[in-house]
């Protein structure tokens, strides 16, 4: 699920990722981590973010991927690098509850952050929306779930993780399929 506040444009470091590659995304900046969140003007409508993909190499290959390509110059994938690295642009933070402040800080700096609303069926078994609420409050642009509306329910848990912006009027409540 992608927040409607997120749009693919280079006006924000996180938004340029959807339709860009690292070299293009950095623009005139020396590298991705220095790309200005306010570098380019108007943001396109939220619907432009639909069906956008952000590909990253498998963690074991991230270091090898950037060898000989400082700031990922000439590369087509983004990697998951520490925020002090020149290649930093995307963050994958699995649990938003202990990392909510960090996610807010990364988003404020213009980074793209993906987090989870549930994991290991724990939230679904307990109909617990706490992790989803933390994910939404954190400001992460991408919130992953295994329990999206219409998802298979082989355990008959009757649980759906739905951010308040995903289905207007339904809020953050479990729903029966």
Percent share of the chain, pLDDT over 90? 32
Residue 141 has φ and ψ, to the nearest 5°, of: -80, -25
- Selected residue with higher pLDDT from 157 and 78: 157
pLDDT of residue 44 exceeding 50, the answer is no
Percent of the chain with pLDDT over 70: 61
The answer, yes or no, to whether residue 59 has pLDDT greater than 60, is yes
At 76 the pLDDT is 79
Pick the range with the lowest mean pLDDT from 27-41, 69-83, 126-140: 27-41
What's the pLDDT tens digit per position in 74-133? 887 878 888 888 888 889 999 999 999 999 999 888 888 999 999 999 999 999 999 999
Higher pLDDT, residue 123 or 58: 123
Task: Give the pLDDT mean for 40-57.
Answer: 48
Q: Terminus-to-terminus CA distance in the chain, angstroms?
A: 18
pLDDT for 99 equals: 97
Find where tokens 């639909």 sit: 50
Among the listed residues 163, 145, 165, the one whose alpha carbon sits nearest the alpha carbon of residue 153: 145
What would the two tokens of residue 21 be? 């590659």
Run of H or E including 125: helix 122-126
> 171 vs 28, which has greater pLDDT?
28
Angle of CA points 20, 21, 27, to nearest 5°: 80
**Confidence band, pLDDT 50/70/90 cuts, at residue 150:** confident
pLDDT of residue 159: 95
């Amino acid at each position: 699920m992608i927040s409607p506040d997120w749009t693919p444009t280079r006006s924000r470091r996180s938004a340029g990722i959807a339709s860009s590659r690292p070299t293009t995304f950095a623009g005139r900046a020396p590298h991705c981590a220095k790309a200005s969140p306010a570098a380019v003007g108007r943001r396109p409508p939220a619907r432009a973010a639909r069906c956008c993909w952000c590909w990253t190499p498998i963690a074991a290959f991230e270091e090898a991927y950037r060898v000989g390509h400082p700031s990922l110059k000439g590369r087509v994938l983004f990697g998951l690098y520490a925020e002090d690295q020149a290649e930093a642009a995307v963050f994958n933070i699995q649990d938003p509850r202990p990392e909510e402040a960090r996610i807010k800080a990364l988003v404020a700096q213009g980074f793209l952050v993906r987090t989870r609303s549930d994991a290991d069926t724990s939230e679904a078994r307990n109909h617990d929306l706490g992790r989803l609420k933390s994910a939404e409050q954190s400001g992460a642009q991408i919130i992953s779930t295994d329990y999206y509306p219409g998802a298979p329910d082989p355990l008959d848990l009757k649980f759906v993780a739905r951010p308040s912006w995903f289905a207007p009027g339904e809020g953050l409540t479990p729903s029966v399929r």
